[in-house]
C-alpha cells in the first residue's frame, strides 16, 4: 500500500506548490523528492527525524507562520545545497538545480508575505548591558550599577517594583529600552498619577516621585524598542543605530553627535535646518546633564581622576575626558568660541530674544502654540514694550492685555 500513498503525496504536492511546474527536462520538485527522498524520509522511515512524505502532502508553506514546517524546508534546501542529501547517492545536477530553485523561490515568497504583515524582526528588548548603559547616560551617572533582588552586581537585572509594574524577567539574556521614542501625554499622566497616589499613601512627595520613576524605567515603552512594520521612522532608526554602534546613546568621547551633525550640515538637503538648530546645541555643550558648568566631558575609561569630597568617595565615580568643544557658527556666519560669546552674539538682537520670550509666555498662558495669525499680535506687544527695553513686567502685561490671552 506504499505506492498509493506516495502517488497521493505527489499529486497533492504538485497541485499546491508553485515550484512544481515541469521544466524542459520534465523534472519537478515533487517528483524529485518523492523518487529520491521518500526511501529514507517517508511516513514509515523517519531518518534523522524527518518525515518528508507528510510535509509534501501538506504542501510548501504559503507564508512563514508555521515556523516548524518552514524551518524544516529550509533545512532540506541547505542539506541539498551542501551535497549532504541524499547521503549515499548524490542528486544529478538537473535534479539538484530543480530542488534548490523551487525551494528558494517558494520559501523567499513565503517569508516576504509574512514580513509584510509582522515585519522582519520581532519585538526587541534591550540587553542588560544596553539597559544599564542607557540609564547611565540618561541620568548622568556613569558608575550606576543595576542589581537584581539579591543585590548581586554581576546579575545586573532590574528589580525595581512599583504599584504599577512588578517585573521579573523570564530570561536573563535580554532587557531593552527606548530613550529615543517620543512620549505620549497619556503615558505621562499615568506616571503622574502613580506619584500622586504614592505620595498621598505614605505622606512623602519624594517617595512618590521615586515610585513614578521606577514605574517609568520598568515600563514596556522604556524597556522595548518600538518599531512599526515597514520602513523605520526617524526615532526607531536612531535607536537602532545608537544601540548597534554603542549599546547606548553615544558618549562624549566619540564626539559622534558633532561629527554626524557636521555630515548632515554638508548635505544640501539637511544643511538649511542644521545651520539654525546646531549652534545652540554646540554652545550648551558647556553644561552637563543637570545644568552644571563644565570644561571637560565625563568619561569612564580614559581620563583624569576627579578629587571628590570624602562623603562622595566611591559613589558615581567618573573621569575627566576630552575638553568641551562649545564653538560654532551662527546661520549668518558669525562665529563663537564658547557659551559667553554665543550669548553676546544673541544679545545683539534684543527684539528677537524678546520675541521668543513672548512666544513662550503665550504658550504657557494659553496652552496653545503661537500660530501664524498670532504673529501680528506678538509684534504689537514688542512695539509697545520696546521703549521699556522689553522688561519682564511690560511683556507679561502686554500678553495679558492681548486678544490671544483674552479670547478662547
Same domain, 191 and 153: yes
Q: Is the pTM of this model over 0.85?
A: no
High-pLDDT (> 70) share of the chain, %: 78
| pLDDT score of 122 more than 90 | no
Give SS3 for 298. Answer: strand
Burial class of residue 113 in the structure, from the number of CB atoms within 10 Å of its CB (0-12 exposed, 13-18 middle, 19+ buried): middle
Same domain, 14 and 109: yes
Residue 271 C-alpha cell reads as: 544643511
Structural domain contains residue 246: no
Please give the Cα distance from 2 to 21 (Å, whole number): 24
Structural domain contains residue 166: yes
Please give the Cα distance from 91 to 349 (Å, whole number): 81
Structural domain contains residue 391: yes
Same domain, 199 and 302: no
What's the rounded mean pLDDT across residues 118-127?
77
Q: Are 285 and 252 in contact (CB under 8 A)?
A: no
Same domain, 223 and 153: yes
Same domain, 178 and 232: yes
At 180 the pLDDT is: 43
Contacts from 399-408 at CB under 8 Å and sequence distance 24+? 399/358, 399/361, 399/362, 399/365, 400/365, 402/362, 402/377, 403/377, 404/362, 404/366, 404/370, 404/374, 404/377, 405/362, 405/365, 405/366
Domain boundary among the residues 238, 260, 284 is at 238
Structural domain contains residue 60: yes
At 172 the pLDDT is: 28
Give SS3 for 149. Answer: coil
Residue 134 C-alpha cell reads as: 542607557
Please give the Cα distance from 241 to 244 (Å, whole number): 5
**Domain hosting residue 162, numbered range:** 125-238
Same domain, 30 and 111: yes
How many other C-beta atoms can be found within 10 angstroms of the C-beta atom of residue 161? 15
What's the rounded mean pLDDT across residues 135-143?
81
Structural domain contains residue 244: no
Structural domain contains residue 245: no
Structural domain contains residue 79: yes
**Max mean pLDDT range (104-118, 139-153, 234-248, 249-263):** 104-118
How many other C-beta atoms can be found within 10 angstroms of the C-beta atom of residue 57? 17
Residue whose C-alpha cell reads 534548490 in the numeric block: 100
Same domain, 361 and 340: no
| pLDDT score of 245 more than 70 | no
Same domain, 97 and 77: yes
277-303: pLDDT as tens digits: 889 989 999 998 778 888 998 887 788
Structural domain contains residue 243: no
Same domain, 332 and 365: no
Same domain, 193 and 277: no
Domain boundary among the residues 172, 206, 238 is at 238
Q: Are 106 and 17 in contact (CB under 8 A)?
A: yes
Q: Are 362 and 378 in contact (CB under 8 A)?
A: yes
Compare 225 and 83 and report the one with higher pLDDT: 83
Please give the Cα distance from 134 to 141 (Å, whole number): 10
Same domain, 280 and 383: no
Q: Are 398 and 381 in contact (CB under 8 A)?
A: yes
What is the domain count for the chain?
4
Amino acid at each position: 500500500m506504499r505506492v498509493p500513498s506516495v502517488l497521493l503525496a505527489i499529486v497533492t504536492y504538485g497541485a499546491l506548490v508553485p515550484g512544481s511546474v515541469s521544466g524542459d527536462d520534465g523534472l519537478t520538485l515533487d517528483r524529485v523528492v518523492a523518487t529520491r527522498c521518500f526511501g529514507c524520509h517517508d511516513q514509515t522511515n523517519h531518518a534523522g527525524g524527518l518525515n518528508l512524505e507528510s510535509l509534501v502532502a501538506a504542501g510548501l508553506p504559503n507564508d512563514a507562520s508555521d515556523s516548524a514546517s518552514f524551518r524544516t524546508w529550509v533545512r532540506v534546501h541547505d542539506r541539498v545545497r551542501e551535497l549532504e542529501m541524499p547521503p549515499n547517492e548524490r542528486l544529478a545536477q538537473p535534479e539538484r538545480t530543480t530542488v534548490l530553485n523551487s525551494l528558494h523561490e517558494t520559501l523567499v515568497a513565503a517569508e516576504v508575505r509574512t514580513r509584510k504583515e509582522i515585519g522582519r524582526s520581532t519585538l526587541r528588548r534591550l540587553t542588560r548591558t544596553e539597559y544599564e548603559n542607557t540609564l547611565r547616560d540618561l541620568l548622568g551617572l556613569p558608575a550606576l550599577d543595576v542589581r537584581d533582588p539579591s543585590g548581586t552586581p554581576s546579575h545586573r537585572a532590574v528589580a525595581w517594583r512599583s504599584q504599577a509594574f512588578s517585573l521579573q524577567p523570564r530570561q536573563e539574556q535580554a532587557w531593552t529600552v527606548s530613550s529615543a521614542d517620543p512620549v505620549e501625554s497619556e503615558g505621562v499622566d499615568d506616571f503622574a498619577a502613580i506619584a500622586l497616589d504614592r505620595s498621598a499613601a505614605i505622606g512623602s512627595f519624594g517617595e512618590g516621585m521615586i515610585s513614578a520613576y521606577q514605574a517609568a524605567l520598568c515600563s514596556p515603552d522604556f524597556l522595548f524598542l518600538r518599531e512599526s512594520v515597514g520602513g523605520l521612522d526617524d526615532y526607531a532608526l536612531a535607536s537602532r543605530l545608537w544601540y548597534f554602534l554603542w549599546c547606548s546613546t553615544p558618549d562624549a568621547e566619540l564626539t559622534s553627535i558633532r561629527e554626524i551633525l557636521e555630515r548632515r550640515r554638508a548635505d544640501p538637503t539637511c544643511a538649511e535646518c542644521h545651520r539654525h538648530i546646531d549652534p545652540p546645541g554646540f554652545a550648551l555643550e558647556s553644561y552637563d546633564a543637570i545644568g552644571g558648568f563644565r570644561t571637560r566631558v565625563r568619561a569612564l575609561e580614559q581620563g583624569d581622576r576627579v578629587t571628590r569630597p570624602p562623603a562622595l568617595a566611591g559613589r558615581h565615580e567618573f573621569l575627566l575626558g576630552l575638553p568641551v568643544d562649545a564653538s560654532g557658527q551662527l546661520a549668518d556666519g558669525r562665529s563663537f568660541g564658547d557659551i559667553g560669546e554665543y550669548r553676546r552674539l544673541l544679545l545683539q538682537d534684543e527684539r528677537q530674544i524678546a520675541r521668543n520670550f513672548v512666544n513662550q509666555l503665550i504658550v504657557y498662558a494659553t496652552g496653545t502654540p503661537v500660530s501664524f495669525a498670532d504673529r501680528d499680535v506678538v509684534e504689537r506687544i514688542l512695539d509697545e514694550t520696546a521703549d521699556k527695553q522689553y522688561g519682564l513686567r511690560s511683556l507679561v502685561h502686554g500678553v495679558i492685555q492681548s486678544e490671544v490671552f483674552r479670547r478662547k
